[in-house]
Structures are given as C-alpha cells and as structure tokens.
C-alpha cells in the first residue's frame, strides 16, 4: 500500500519550496517530500531541474495515465506531494492580468491569487489507483509578513526574504479525499471554489493587518 499526502498551495515565491521542506522535516519527517510541476516530479526543487520545462503551456497535463504512473514510480513510500495549481508565482502584475482574463471568460475574478489550473491536479486525483491510499487533501495558504505585521505581496527575491520578511504564516485546511468529485469538470469546479475561498481569506488578512495589495500597474520607473 502506497501512503500519500497531497498538498495544494498558493504560490507567492520560489521560496515556498523551502517553506514546505521545513514543514515536512519538522512535522512529517517520515514522509518523503516531492513537488509535481510541469509534467515532472522533483524530490528536491532546483532551477536547473525546472527551467527546461518552463516553455510548457500553463494548462499542462499528462499525455497518458502511463506518463503519470512513470513519474509517481519515482516516489518513495510514504510521500507528500505538493502541487501549485497557480503554476506561476503570483506577482501583482500576473494577478491583474489573470483578473482581466477571468472577466473576459466570466470566471471568478480573484484579487490576491492567480486563477488555478486544474489539469495536473485532476490527472493526479483521477490517476490514483486502489494501491494508493489518499485520505485527505491539505489546502495550504502561505503569506509573508514584515516586522510591522504587514503582508508582503511579492516576496520574490532573496533581498526581500532576508531583510524584510519577519514571519511566514501557513494556514492549512484538511479536506477529505472521498468528498472530491470523480470527474474532471467536477474537480475543476472544486478547485475553483477552493481558490475563491482562499482569495477571500487572504483579502481578509490584508484588511485586518492594514496591508496594501499592489495594484499590478506598471510604475513610471518600470515603463
């Protein structure tokens, strides 16, 4: 029996990978951590591993069930698999662009996260077989705050991480696997609703802390 934990997280920074590694070491030391991204599973994230796949469509999915099984075979039991449905890091500029696209497609307009891509998550959920035990989906929300407890909307570079980030907040909600739909369209809707709720909770945190979200517009110096 293969024992699986699946974590879905928002994606604010490349350092999110490091945060999950620390959480796994402290609380799930017996579980082997891996990340599913761009059609590949990585046990340890590195730019050299991920860069060759960045040309792929953000709505990427596995070509066949055999391709997914081939990747899952790399994992050591038990394992914790982390997915970032937003695929890209959620910068203010990308959030603004996604909001405009969602408006055009009559999809929910999210203000603090990117609209989630469901293909890879659906592949994973529908690809699990009877020999793989998945009891829960863990919905994780990360935020980075400074010394004044203000949320940093784009903690993407090493200078920001080392000089401005005071605290990393991780909120985890556990959802029973058996409650998830068993068809692709239903999974897409479930993931969309999960991200709408995530967006509301982040927006509430911004309001409570008096933080300001960057509007994503180019400033004069950036033009």
Domain ranges of the chain: 2-222
Lowest mean pLDDT among 11-15, 29-33, 136-140: 29-33
For 155-209, the pLDDT digits (tens) are 876 667 778 888 999 999 999 888 899 899 999 999 999 999 999 999 999 999 9
Helix (H) or strand (E) holding 167: strand 167-176
pLDDT at position 57 is 46
Q: What is the dihedral angle through the alpha carbons of 6, 128, 43, 33, rounded to the nearest 10 degrees? A: 30
What are φ and ψ of residue 189, in 5° steps?
-65, -40
CB atoms within 10 A of CB 206: 18
CATH topology of domain 2-222: Glycerol-3-phosphate (1)-acyltransferase (3.40.1130)
Q: Is 0.85 surpassed by the pTM of this model? A: no
- Environment class of 183 (CB within 10 Å of its CB; exposed 0-12, middle 13-18, buried 19+): exposed
* Nearest to 2, CA basis, from 74, 61, 63: 74
């Amino acid at each position: 029996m293969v024992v699986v934990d699946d974590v879905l997280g928002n994606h604010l920074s490349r350092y999110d990978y490091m945060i999950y590694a620390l959480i796994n070491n402290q609380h799930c030391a017996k579980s082997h951590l891996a990340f599913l991204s761009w059609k590949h599973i990585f046990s340890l994230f590195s730019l050299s591993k991920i860069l060759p796949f960045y040309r792929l469509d953000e709505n990427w999915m596995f070509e066949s069930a055999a391709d997914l099984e081939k990747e899952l075979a790399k994992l050591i039991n038990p394992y914790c698999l982390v997915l970032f449905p937003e695929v890209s890091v959620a910068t203010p500029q990308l959030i603004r662009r996604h909001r405009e696209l969602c408006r055009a497609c009559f999809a929910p307009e999210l203000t603090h996260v990117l609209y989630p891509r469901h293909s890879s998550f659906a592949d994973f959920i529908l690809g699990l077989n009877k020999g793989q035990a998945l009891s829960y989906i863990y919905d994780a929300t990360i935020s980075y705050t400074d010394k004044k407890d203000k949320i940093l909307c784009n903690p993407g570079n090493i200078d920001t991480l080392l000089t401005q980030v005071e605290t990393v907040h991780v909120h985890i909600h556990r959802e029973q696997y058996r409650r998830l739909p068993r068809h692709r369209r239903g999974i897409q809707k479930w993931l969309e609703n999960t991200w709408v709720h995530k967006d509301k909770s982040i927006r509430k945190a911004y309001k409570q802390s008096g933080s300001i979200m960057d509007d994503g517009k180019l400033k004069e110096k950036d033009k």
